[in-house]
Amino acid sequence: MNRLTLLALQVLVAVVTLALWHVLAKYPVCGLSYLGRENDCTTVLPPFFFSTPLDVASRVVKWFVDGTIWRHLWITLVEAMLAFVIGSLAGVLIGFWFARKPTINAVFDPYVKMLNALPRVVLAPIFALWFGLGIASKVALGFTLVFFIVFFNVYQGVKEVSSTVLANARMLGMSEQQLMRHVYWPSALSWMFSSLHTSVGFAVVGAVVGEYLGSAAGLGYIIQQAEGVFDVAGVFAGMFVLAVFVILIDLVVTMIEKRLLVWRPVAATDAR
């Protein structure tokens, strides 16, 4: 499938979804009543609870035209990027360390799994108590979401190094530093970037959840304020901006991945 066809299908899915949402929220259906009266006519998706695509779009346009969204976007971006960078670096370094040190991994493995099992929503109020309602608590929450994803992928990437390649490299006299650079690191890169694509979304989720629970600015703050006054259009508009925001960041990660993994052969499914 070529890129143009793929793009057309992706746009078609979005158009059909929005058209279906508009029709179900705009046009009433007779005989469908939440009160059990057969002659009543009502919409399948009541606008009070689901809003409409046009209302959501107009709200998004209004935010960008009057400039109110930019400050909130910037704050969420800073929080998410700090969580993403710090969590990714820590996950890569500690993942390499654990994979190369079996004894360290054996000792700390149950504690890592225990920490990973902690529900992040429970940690959010604790971080707010420890670090306050500023940027630090949002970064800490995002860090806990990013770190474990990158850690486990990097660890597995290093452990998946081909024993044949490793034996040949050692037979050629490679030192540990050379093995790290030419064998372990390339093996972990594909796993690492796979985790980074997922981590981008989780870094933003961490920042937004932290803002939702307590802040004075950010996308999470906008969504929380809209929910507080039953502004469904504002809630959906905030979620839409958030989704586009994550996609744009993920595109940046994809560009970096393509630059760093130029040596990787093209998969058969991508070559068609």
Gap between the Cα atoms of 164 and 161, Å rounded:
9
The pLDDT score that the predictor gives to residue 160 is 73
For 207-236, what is each residue's pLDDT tens digit? Answer: 888 888 888 888 889 988 998 888 899 999
Token couple for 50:
């689901």
Question: DSSP assignment, residue 8?
Answer: H
Give pTM, 2 decimals: 0.79
Strand, helix or coil at 231? Answer: coil
Give the chain's radius of gyration (CA, Å): 24
Phi, psi of 29 (to 5 degrees): -120, 125
Enumerate the domain spans of the chain.
Answer: 1-47, 51-265
The pLDDT score that the predictor gives to residue 33 is 53
Burial class of 24 by CB neighbour count within 10 A (0 to 12, 13 to 18, 19+): middle
Burial class of 214 by CB neighbour count within 10 A (0 to 12, 13 to 18, 19+): middle
Average pLDDT of the chain, as a whole number: 83
Q: Evaluate whether 193 touches 258 at the Cβ level (below 8 Å).
A: no
Token couple for 269:
């499914």
Average pLDDT (192-202) is 82
Judged by average pLDDT, the poorest of 79-88, 148-157, 188-197, 216-225 is 188-197
Class of domain 51-265: mainly alpha
Strand, helix or coil at 30? Answer: strand
Gap between the Cα atoms of 111 and 103, Å rounded:
14
Gap between the Cα atoms of 249 and 198, Å rounded:
11
